[in-house]
Structure 1
């Protein structure tokens, strides 16, 4: 069975944020929540200032603190056989332990009804014109194949590696497809000929953003070029 992972080549990254926007659009992520995000770090003194841009997301760790600390481990948060760390909202006890335990700060918690902005008469008109079964115009029926199409209140959530695209549609995650610089490479770690493994062999992996021994399945290579 495949074990999925992602390589982020910082030398290719342009810092454009296309990955962030693609993730929000594909996964119907509500305002104020980012499954794909980034960190910007500065060094030096003006006018000799340098900065680094590091895309971030759930690392789908093999030893994930969010999973290990979940009281419903294996039922709510669980390790899938294909390397993805996933959440079943129906089994979640809404304790927020996963949010507190993630050292990467990549778990979020919805404490308000998602997309409240669109839940009015105009939103209903847009949804009707789009043929959406939900009031929210951003509703993606493909996202609903494996997860919540529209977020419920009081649930944690995070990146899923776009499991609905990968497992159901045979596509790459939205952030990978949207990257104009091909800085993200997604593939099977068990396949020695995969582009992911080939890129890891050709480039030195480093621990950008890695905290503790969580054994992440998102790998960073090279350095961000800010000149």
Structure 2
């Protein structure tokens, strides 16, 4: 979310030829078309899940970051046989946390700003917590891009906050028997650790790792450490 598939480039370089990687730009991101669903079409999270699931024709290693990690988790719950290993980097699945109040408050503030037409300020608020650079440090071109894409962040609220996809249904996480790695940044918002703890408590085969001095955007800021951890989970699988 708020990026593109090219952000995985440094990870791909470090993993070299070990996996055959396939990524894609989310709707409204990178080279993908704008997100303009017609009435009755699925929500953004469901649409992205279907795009990713359509690429799976055999058991694969799923690797996701942030919003993408929640999509990978949703696929693994729905079709555990399709997953050889699962690496979840900072999944923003707030519904799993016991006390996501701060993040709900942030979302409400962002939604209020969007409703009043203050897109720049909404992006500024979002990036202050979940970005690797503040909004005002970005070039004007990227500021405009962030102001457009922050609307898409709001599109995921029903799944991420309210679990509209029923990912937490009884027996769902427990059915994932593939090796799972949960990776967090030590400097990330506290809710990330809460989410990881809640998920780890229900997953049968899970490892947890925390990258020192890293925040939410650790695949970009700490590619060496993240690639090493991904490689560990690939080896386990």
Question: What TM-score results when the alignment is normalised by the length of structure 1?
Answer: 0.26
Between Structure 1 and Structure 2, whose CA radius of gyration is higher?
1
Structure showing the higher strand proportion among its residues: 1
Q: Highest relative contact order (Cα 8 Å, sep 6+), 1 or 2? A: 1
